[in-house]
Structure 1
Amino acid sequence: MRIPRSPKADRHVLPDVSLSEEDGVRHLHLDSPWIQGSMRIAKPLDIELEYVQRMMAWLLFVDPDEVPQLHAMQLGLGAGALTKFCHKRLGMRTTVIELNPQVVAACMRWFRLPDNDDRLQVLVADAAQAVQDIDWHGEVDALQVDLYDHEAAGPVLDGAAFYADCHAMLADNGCMTVNLFGRHASFSRNMDNIASAFGSEHLQFFKPTREGNTVVLARKNPVAVERPLLRQRAEAIEARWKLPARLWVHALQRWQPVEAGGN
């Protein structure tokens, strides 16, 4: 199944969108077999993929009652799982930056992405330019970065300047979550570039999923949260939003950069 190309899209840059379905789950593809996002058809607001669930781990570091007053932004729409969850389940103001208009059209038609409203804004734009817009600086509480090309080999934006712009977008207590491939050659470079913007002491990460996705959390001005409070919040997250948050408490690790010249 293919979505017709938008006449405004650059034919040499933006890949075609295709869909597949298996065992009640619909997948989004970009001109390749690699899955760019998924939705369980019977539960369109649930987050199906494990790594995408982990992109919500920033919830551990905020008061659950304050979540509806926060602003979430996704760089890269995928199949819309994070966007729908933040907008519909969490009741957050939600903004999306997606380069490919075909992806937006596919999500609206096949993945239950709602129309824009007073709390949801899906913008067809270049994330590299959007993060430089000073109007966003200091405005985002949860920045979720999942920017891959059709080959899904590594992030298309991963430079130190890009992550510095992401840092500037965050509110004082904001958190960026990033999907990286832990087994890919770009992983160490990305971690070094994120650390240069946020400070290595502000980074946490999960071990790779079975598919190789490593989710990294980078907090702007982290306030220490004691483990009993983390467990309490995890229980609240599971009760309210059915995410496996108690596993996150045990699985999150501090980033330890490799010293120059070390083995």
Structure 2
Amino acid sequence: MSDYRTLTSVADAWGEISVLENAEQRILAFGAHDEQSKLLKATPHIPKHTYLRAMLLALLFTRPRSVMVLGLGGGVLVHALRQFDAASRITVVELRPAVIALCKQYFRLPLSKKLTVIEADALAYLGSAQHKRVDMLFCDLFDCDGIADGALSADFLQQCRQQLKADGVLVLNCWKEHSRDPELLARLQQLFPAVYACLTGSGNWVVFATAQPLMAGQAELKRQAAALSQRLGFELQLSLTRFSPWESI
């Protein structure tokens, strides 16, 4: 990141957070070299990271009116969801108050009555009380050491299922090595009849779990992905080529 300048750097109980930028983009980093989010300043709704584009393939399953996002980061996913449908209700749960403050100040978080940002531990938040169920739940819980502890546990996945409506969609951002984790697949299959996944060029393994399998064939999925790409303002076709049912190895 030698061509970037540091805008600010803060420390909290979980470590260091930095905001860097060059002429075109702005980065949120956890620790010295952990690039957590990258926002294109001219087009904040267009994800630079391929795993975020892959996560948005979830919009092939349903057009959500209510969404929950666990893990705010730089807010790029929120920007993209707002581009897709400005009327949808989005609830974001973020552990670190410093991340929320930096996202508002430096990453143009699209604040509105349709967006609620909650400062809380996502794992504890889902288990604390009955929350209004949502159509889609995105789980992107990472820290400087990787996926947050407990974010793929049986208890947490059960809480995610309870947070979703009957035909809701759970989207998990994982690492490539989780594609070889039969126990994770089994935990998901106990809760959801249909589990899909997409391997990204960045080494992320994005999982989609739902009660309603996709009935469209490959040609129809390509057509739908093209229409979705036009609406979002960026291409999803490359991610779709790596998207398929997650089956046991």
Q: Distance in 1 between matches of 2:115 and 2:58?
A: 20
Asked if structure 1 preserves the Cα contact closer than 8 Å seen for 2:55 and 2:171, the reply is: yes
Distance verdict in 2 for CA 1:170–1:225, change over 3 Å? farther
Tell me whether 91-100 or 21-30 shows the greater mean CA deviation.
21-30
The RMSD of aligned alpha carbons is 2.4
Asked if structure 2 preserves the Cα contact closer than 8 Å seen for 1:172 and 1:221, the reply is: no
Q: Does 1:213 align with 2:204?
A: yes
* Count of residues in correspondence between the two structures: 241
Distance verdict in 2 for CA 1:247–1:192, change over 3 Å? same
Consecutive unaligned residues of structure 1, counting only runs of 5 or more, are: 259-263
Q: Distance in 2 between matches of 1:189 and 1:41?
A: 40
Q: TM-score, normalised by structure 1?
A: 0.82
Q: Distance in 1 between matches of 2:211 and 2:27?
A: 33
Q: Distance in 1 between matches of 2:102 and 2:182?
A: 33
Q: Which of 188, 192, 197 is 1:198 aligned to?
A: 192
Report the equivalent of 1:32.
Answer: 32
Q: Distance in 1 between matches of 2:27 and 2:181?
A: 25
Consecutive unaligned residues of structure 2, counting only runs of 5 or more, are: 1-5
Determine helix, strand or coil for the equivalent of 1:38.
strand
- The structural deviation recorded for 1:114 is 2.8
Deviations 1:118-171 (A, max 9, x none): 21001101111222255335x21111111011223x343110110111111111
Q: Distance in 2 between matches of 1:217 and 1:185?
A: 12
Q: Which amino acid aligns with 1:252?
A: F
Determine helix, strand or coil for the equivalent of 2:116.
strand
Q: Does 1:243 align with 2:239?
A: no
Report the equivalent of 1:179.
Answer: 173
Q: Identity rate of aligned residues, in percent?
A: 26
**Higher relative strand content:** 2
Asked if structure 2 preserves the Cα contact closer than 8 Å seen for 1:30 and 1:150, the reply is: yes
Deviations 1:35-62 (A, max 9, x none): 1111012222222211101111111122
Asked if structure 2 preserves the Cα contact closer than 8 Å seen for 1:3 and 1:106, the reply is: no
Alignment of 1:1-263 (within 5 A): 1=6, 2-5=8-11, 11=13, 14-22=14-22, 24-62=24-62, 67=63, 70-91=65-86, 92-115=88-111, 117-136=112-131, 139-152=133-146, 154-156=147-149, 157-183=151-177, 187-199=181-193, 202-209=194-201, 211-222=202-213, 224-258=215-249
